[in-house]
Amino acid sequence: MRGIDLDSFSQHCGAIRLDDRSRRCKVSGVVARLRFVVVIVLFFIVGNTSLLSQQVSDRYAQIPGDSLSITSIDFETIRNLKELEMVPWEILAAFGKQELGIDPMLISTIDFTSGLPSLNGLEFGIVIRTKAPVDIAQLNGRLFSDMTRAPKNQNMKVRSLNDAPAKVVQLEPLTVMVGSEGTLRRMLAGKVQTSKTIELIGKSKYPFRSITAIEPLRPIIEGALADASGAIPPQFLSDLQVVADELSYIQTESSVGLSAEVVLKLGARDKDSIERLVISLERLRKNGLVFAEAMVKQQIQNDRQMTPEVKTAALQYVQRMKGFLATADLWNVVGDEIVMDGRVAYSVPTIGVLVGLLLPAVQAAREAARRMSSQNNMKQIMLAMLNHESAFKQFPARATRDADGKPLLSWRVKILPFLEENGLYQEFHQDEPWDSEHNIKLLERMPAVYKHPSYVGPEGHTVYLVPYQKGNVWTSAKPQIRNITDGTSNTIACFETNDEHAVPWSKPDDIDLDQDDIFDFFRFGASNVGMFDGSVRAIAPSIDPVVLKAMMTSAGGEVVQLP
């Protein structure tokens, strides 16, 4: 892979770059394209393991040394397991050919790398090695664009996934790469990179192995812990902070089958860190078991469908499990690693306990990352509002109305032209309500900017609402900047609610502060808010109610000390 013309690759990628609308494809489209990855995992469990004997630098030559996580799968070992001999490999192979257009039985190994998201979205790459030549020109046209070649490198074949920001690149008959444009450029640079994570995963002999570096995530985890400090029980917080500070990496190794072995390794920064980690993990286990026992007991006691006899038995089991988990050897310390090793029957509950103990921090970290993505959505929304104000000398009315004053469509529809969605805007019948026979069909085509990354609920619903009340600028037929006398940087224009209060995106439905308690609308940890000056900030439910009320008014005259 050395000597590749990156300028040529860049020029080629630019020529086939997906437009903005494709990048913001609907969730259903993304799911359809992710079938490619699912097929790889489910139907490519074949190949040979000769690559295990290669040098680490050869096997992982295309993997960036600063990868956030790396996952490797060697499929011949898995396929040859006696316990899996009844798996219908022939049927899976035929189905794989039907879905992809290439014989999946040719796959030898897959190495997956991911990095922190960039401005262009997720950063990931997959290196697929085969035991016989393949040609990406044969890939199914339903999933991939037509094949083209780089203008300055005719040996480079490139295809794009339809409606998804990922490409397939091939330079050698036995190697195919899939990934985001930025990661592919780095993978094709021809520079052999190494790192501690690559060395560790390269030494493993298990057919399935994965490693995640904590250092790149540390600022996100620490920020998430700070944001979620009010939601995490205090007896966990300090020890979770120690775990966040002292962990260097998390590595998982496993065989496959009914007697599979699973090994989980928590790598510390150094030998001093390992002592602090063990102490904190023991405390987390003790406090976590007490906390979990209390919660489970409460659920059992409150279950009206359980008979007294079943409740008694369930409580006895909970007590027995707590005793087992409180005294079980969950880990061993080996050098600067905490190692959890065992067969599935024992390792699953063991690892489950640790995962349960770390879940608040992991969930908080994920929520923080999603909150950052949501902030980008909010910034686009606020920019569209400001562009609307610039074009029409007013912000969009909270609802468009008919001649009788009946609300028809939401402000979210009104700003579509400023979100590069003018085509969708033109399809709405502006003189009909959002749920008319025609307009209701457009609900499923909600732009991606209105989709919160953490939202779980009906399609076509959004959590981006505006807060209105008597005297608020949003109750005006012509909301104008001059009416925001409290200052645009001090006044909330848009609020990110929890999933419970999501509304159909085209429906003129928002937060009525005269009827609703705004604190009922907060998301876990914090909610993003867009200010009338276009800035976006996160505010926690612990905010002073007086300050929050002042931020909701547009001409209240309050002196606001922003959090």
Mean pLDDT (the chain) is 81
Rg of the Cα atoms in the chain: 27
The pLDDT assigned to 362 comes to 53
The pLDDT assigned to 122 comes to 85
How far is it, in rounded angstroms, from Cα 546 to Cα 563? 12
Handedness of CA 187, 193, 198, 203 (dihedral sign): positive
- High-pLDDT (> 90) share of the chain, %: 37
Where in the chain are the domains? 1-205, 369-552
H-helix or E-strand spanning residue 291: helix 271-302
The pLDDT assigned to 304 comes to 66
Mean pLDDT of 222-233: 78
The pLDDT assigned to 363 comes to 55
- Report how far Cα 434 is from the mean position of its chain's Cα atoms: 31
How far is it, in rounded angstroms, from Cα 281 to Cα 240? 9
The pLDDT assigned to 560 comes to 67
296 against 28, higher pLDDT: 296
Print the SS3 string covering 84-152: HCCCCHHHHHHHHHHHHCCCHHHEEEEEEEEEEEECCEEEEEEEEEECCCCCHHHCCCCCECCCEEECC
Tokens of 98: 């039907």
pLDDT tens-place string over residues 143-193 = 899 988 877 778 889 999 887 889 999 989 999 999 998 999 889 887 767
Handedness of CA 441, 443, 448, 449 (dihedral sign): positive
pLDDT of 4 > 60? The answer is no
Q: Which amino acid is at 382?
A: M
Q: DSSP string spanning 444-497?
A: GG--GGGS-TT--SSTTEE-EE-EE-TTSGGGSSS--GGG-TT-GGGSEEEEE-
Question: Model confidence at 353, in pLDDT bands (50, 70, 90)?
Answer: very low
How far is it, in rounded angstroms, from Cα 413 to Cα 401? 13
pLDDT tens-place string over residues 277-332 = 999 988 888 888 888 888 888 878 877 667 888 888 888 988 888 888 788 777 88
Beta-carbon contacts of 511 under 8 Å, excluding residues fewer than 6 positions away, are 465, 466, 467, 468, 495, 497, 501, 518, 521
Mean pLDDT of 351-375: 62
The pLDDT assigned to 366 comes to 61
12 against 389, higher pLDDT: 389
The pLDDT assigned to 384 comes to 96
pLDDT tens-place string over residues 470-528 = 878 899 888 999 889 888 998 999 999 999 999 999 999 999 999 989 999 998 778 99
Q: What one-character DSSP code corresponds to residue 557?
A: -
The pLDDT assigned to 173 comes to 92
How far is it, in rounded angstroms, from Cα 59 to Cα 189? 15
Q: How far is CA 188 from CA 55, 238, 515, in A?
A: 19, 43, 58
pLDDT of 369 > 80? The answer is no
Q: Cα angle vertex 74, ends 73, 75, to 5°? A: 105
Q: Which of 41-45, 139-143, 202-206, 348-352 has the lowest mean pLDDT?
A: 41-45
pLDDT of 30 > 60? The answer is no
φ/ψ of 400, rounded to 5, equals -80, 150
Torsion, Cα 390 392 396 397, to 10 degrees, reads: 140
Nearest residue to 177 via CA among 62, 93, 67: 62
Tokens of 155: 């040996």
pLDDT of 422 > 90? The answer is yes
How far is it, in rounded angstroms, from Cα 210 to Cα 114? 11
Mean pLDDT of 15-44: 39
268 against 223, higher pLDDT: 268
The pLDDT assigned to 26 comes to 38
Beta-carbon contacts of 556 under 8 Å, excluding residues fewer than 6 positions away, are 486, 550
pTM (two decimals): 0.55
φ/ψ of 483, rounded to 5, equals -85, -5
Question: Model confidence at 367, in pLDDT bands (50, 70, 90)?
Answer: low
The pLDDT assigned to 45 comes to 35
User: Contact, 233 vs 357, CB < 8 A?
Assistant: no
pLDDT tens-place string over residues 251-263 = 999 887 666 788 8
Question: Model confidence at 92, in pLDDT bands (50, 70, 90)?
Answer: confident
**β-strands 261-268, 503-504: how paired?**
unpaired
Mean pLDDT of 436-446: 95
- Report how far Cα 345 is from the mean position of its chain's Cα atoms: 30
Q: Which of 1-15, 40-54, 426-440, 453-467 has the lowest mean pLDDT?
A: 40-54
Q: DSSP string spanning 525-546?
A: S-EEEEETTS-EEEE-TTS-HH
**β-strands 337-343, 399-401: how paired?**
unpaired
The pLDDT assigned to 3 comes to 41
The pLDDT assigned to 113 comes to 94
Mean pLDDT of 449-462: 91
pLDDT tens-place string over residues 128-143 = 999 899 999 999 888 8
